[in-house]
Structure 1
Amino acid sequence: MNATMHPLRRALFGIGVAAVLTAASGPAGATPTLEPTVASMAEYLNAGTVAAADGRTPTAIADTGSASGSSSGSAGSRSSDAIGEGPEMSSYLAAFAYGLVHPDAAPPGANRWDCKPSPQHPRPVVLLHGSWLNAYDTFSHLSPRLAEAGHCVFTLNFGKSGLLEAGGLGAVLPGRYGVGPMVESSRQVAAFIERVRAATGADQVDIVGHSQGGTIANHYLKFEGGQGKVGKLVTFGATHHGTSLLGLATLGRMINNAGIDIMGFYRPIIGVANVEQAVGSSFYTTLNAAGDTVPGLDYTVVGSRYDEVMNPLDLGFLRAGPGATVDNVTLQNGCEQDISDHLTMMYSPRATSIALRALDPEGSTALACTFNPWFFGGGGSL
């Protein structure tokens, strides 16, 4: 099944959704401008409430809660370690179901804090999940294979935020992380990597990021002191230049730039991190102002032609700047039977073999090539 739409159908679909959203938001002047703060979210929700039959009006309370784990401590977003290893999974759907019940589970092989890097693999590997995901349901297939290959593997759940903290409706479900402001998530990752370096004695780490995780890694490298602390960055379906969401994000940004705050309208629904990842956002203007890469890094960037989020592929690819190397890889090149989409590529044997080769070119085996179905993943096995 091809994840992309015919251009005409895609355009009509986008225009229809935009019209619905615009009508729902009312006149441009009546749409409140939302900022990614707890107080703004509370004001937005309160503005739409009506009095009950007894005269009382429900009120949203701007309560930020308390930070936990390796949080940056900033209001509205937290992070925590993934703890208690869950079972290895071959399918994203099965991993997602397990993650709903065990939202903070660690993927197998990860966060063994007594692991010491070997001379063959001197850099620990830090895994970064994407939006509305968690460490377990993203890496329950890849993590054990990295550990079996001799890597020390570490991961966390970042960008944990509630509905009233601009996390969006997705944050209501257990384990839907990566929804808070991305700058805060980047700082949480920076703090976690310092803990990994201290525990392992390693000067540098390697990073594998999926979706937003690749973008968070880039922000950490450019703005949170990561340059010189990372040897290799491997990304899958990363939102390096934003996502068009089959053209909807691009259309939404155009409407926003025309003076209708449609992005502000659906921020409470999809969360601040997803708004920041729309093509043309100020976040990306800042992120890529000095180029896509930083010196001293080897980048491996993997995209799938069936990715319904990162489409077209070029949005996820990088251009090498001075002192950096970039290998942009299309998953289907040489393996047409792999039809992994945005989520199931992390359950693709070929994607796993690409990650292993990128992290250890000398010790890795040949690239795998098997059928990996769209939506299900794992060769159809649940």
Structure 2
Amino acid sequence: MTRRTGRYSRSALVSAVLTATAALAIGVGAPLAVAEEPQAPTAQALADAINQGRRPAAVADSGSSSGSAGSHATVALGAGPEFSSALAAFGYGLLHPNAAPAGANDWNCRPSPERPRPVLLVHGTWMNAYDGFAYLAPRLARAGYCVFAMNHGQANPMEGGGLGPLLPGRNGVAYMEDSARQLARFVDQVLAATGAEQVDLIGHSQGGTVANQYLKFENGAPKVQRLITFGATHHGTSLLGLATLGRMITDAGIDILGFYELFVGHANIQQTVGSPFVRALGKDGDTVPGVAYTVVGSRYDEVTNPYQLTFLAAGPGATVDNITLQDGCEQDFSDHLTMMYSPRAVSIALRALDPAAQPDLVCAFNPWLIGGGGSL
């Protein structure tokens, strides 16, 4: 099984970051390029593609029952370089919006007896498969896992995605119910391609909440053994009280959140505390039977806050391990984004997937915002 990784020179990295900064400053960028959506491939079509040495075009598309024009998802293609810094990965992700993180989406990968379940990575709001998991994915692959990732919840401003998608690769903006259906199709495609019976899911931010929606409402539970989330908006977020205030004003009859939805997209409004989506997600409890949950929050998370809102309560037939990232490792200052570039977070994921192989957790310095131990 061949894995591809690579590294870019410092000058190329600086160029990528400057390009990203310039794009953010002027508020424009190349429009999000979404591949033409074919019909979901059958298991035989996937097998034929793999036998011929080609990546299957496992692309999910979702018409919306939520009132939008629908949304799209694409499989990330072409492995990008490994980065230890969230800022560096963000710059590369802007320039290569559909890149796969190193070690992911090798459709020739077959689960081993020691690693029987593929691991699917689900990114957060305004992110993509690459910049969400450029640090985690290659480490999972080197640990022997078959790793897969897609770009979900793609919608342009006319489809209700807000202004974020004016920048390349800013996904996870559509209705989260649609993203959960896209995840359901992708899981089925990975199972058909690999021959596995179940998968494990790792979700960051919105990705963890989308995965939970999939488990609860898209018949995902029988196909998933473990859900591992980092900074997930399981119970919404107050955004330092701003979202809570907006929800109170909206519930009082002045639709201020509906106005902001035009700019930030459907998914962001759905993740506010007390939203109809959040209430429906938690109506019958936090968990589903048969799934093991590992839920990680950071004290320095400026997006999912209070960070304790990410934690889950175990219901019948489920187990939950709620972990504060800094417990036992005060020098980890990871915020919402750099959490996925934390050595400790990676060790938590590896331990959750296989406690026998990774019994101990790593503790290392990881600075707020920058990540990567303070270097690019």
TM-score range, shorter chain: 0.7 to 0.9
In 1, distance between residues paired with 2:150 and 2:313? 28
Partner of 1:71: 60
In 2, distance between residues paired with 1:256 and 1:207? 34
Do the aligned partners of residues 377 and 65 (structure 1) sit closer, same or farther apart at CA in structure 2, a change above 3 Å counting?
closer
**Matched residue pairs, number?**
319
Pick aligned residue for 1:318 from 307, 312, 315: 312
Does the 8 A contact of 2:35 with 2:74 survive in 1? no
State the Cα distance separating 1:67 from its structure 2 match.
Answer: 3.9
State the Cα distance separating 1:71 from its structure 2 match.
Answer: 2.2
Q: Does 1:266 align with 2:260?
A: yes
Partner of 1:301: 295
Does the 8 A contact of 2:62 with 2:181 survive in 1? no
Partner of 2:130: 136
State the Cα distance separating 1:66 from its structure 2 match.
Answer: 6.0
Matches within 5 A, 1:232-271: 232-271=226-265
Q: Does 1:145 align with 2:134?
A: no
Query: What are the Cα deviations for residues 174-229 of structure 1, in whole angstroms up to 9, with x where unaligned?
Result: 00000011111000000000000001111100000000000000000011110110
Pick aligned residue for 1:280 from 274, 279, 299: 274
Q: Does 1:379 align with 2:368?
A: no
Does the 8 A contact of 2:71 with 2:159 survive in 1? yes
Pick aligned residue for 1:224 from 201, 218, 221: 218
Partner of 2:328: 334
Query: What are the Cα deviations for residues 101-157 of structure 1, in whole angstroms up to 9, with x where unaligned?
Result: 000000000000110001111010000000000000010000000000000000100
TM-score by length of 1: 0.82
Query: Which residue identity does 1:71 align to in structure 2?
Result: A
In 1, distance between residues paired with 2:328 and 2:149? 31
State the Cα distance separating 1:312 from its structure 2 match.
Answer: 1.2
Query: Which residue identity does 1:280 align to in structure 2?
Result: G
Does the 8 A contact of 2:237 with 2:273 survive in 1? yes
Partner of 1:94: 88
State the Cα distance separating 1:259 from its structure 2 match.
Answer: 1.0
In 2, distance between residues paired with 1:65 and 1:359? 33
Query: What are the Cα deviations for residues 272-294 of structure 1, in whole angstroms up to 9, with x where unaligned?
Result: 00001111010111111110000
Moved over 6 A (4+): none
State the Cα distance separating 1:72 from its structure 2 match.
Answer: 2.8
In 1, distance between residues paired with 2:223 and 2:276? 26
In 2, distance between residues paired with 1:310 and 1:274? 12
Does the 8 A contact of 1:125 with 1:206 survive in 2? yes
Query: Which residue identity does 2:60 align to in structure 1?
Result: S
In 1, distance between residues paired with 2:275 and 2:248? 11
Query: Which residue identity does 2:250 align to in structure 1?
Result: N
SS in 2 for 1:358: helix
Query: What are the Cα deviations for residues 290-344 of structure 1, in whole angstroms up to 9, with x where unaligned?
Result: 1000001110000000000111122100000000000000000000000000000
Partner of 1:201: 195
Partner of 1:23: none
Does the 8 A contact of 2:292 with 2:318 survive in 1? yes
Does the 8 A contact of 1:67 with 1:73 survive in 2? no
SS in 1 for 2:329: coil
Pick aligned residue for 2:102 from 108, 111, 135: 108
Do the aligned partners of residues 65 and 258 (structure 1) sit closer, same or farther apart at CA in structure 2, a change above 3 Å counting?
farther
- For the pair shown, the structure with the greater C-alpha radius of gyration is 1
Pick aligned residue for 1:192 from 186, 193, 198: 186
In 1, distance between residues paired with 2:96 and 2:327? 36
In 1, distance between residues paired with 2:359 and 2:286? 30
Does the 8 A contact of 1:116 with 1:200 survive in 2? yes
Gaps of 5+ in 1: 1-63
Identity rate of aligned residues, in percent?
66
Q: Does 1:161 align with 2:150?
A: no
Q: CA RMSD in A?
A: 1.3
Query: Which residue identity does 1:303 align to in structure 2?
Result: G
Q: Does 1:348 align with 2:337?
A: no
Query: What are the Cα deviations for residues 21-70 of structure 1, in whole angstroms up to 9, with x where unaligned?
Result: xxxxxxxxxxxxxxxxxxxxxxxxxxxxxxxxxxxxxxxxxxx9964662
In 1, distance between residues paired with 2:136 and 2:35? 33
State the Cα distance separating 1:346 from its structure 2 match.
Answer: 0.2
TM-score by length of 2: 0.83
In 2, distance between residues paired with 1:268 and 1:282? 18
SS in 1 for 2:61: coil
In 2, distance between residues paired with 1:217 and 1:201? 21
Query: Which residue identity does 1:72 align to in structure 2?
Result: D
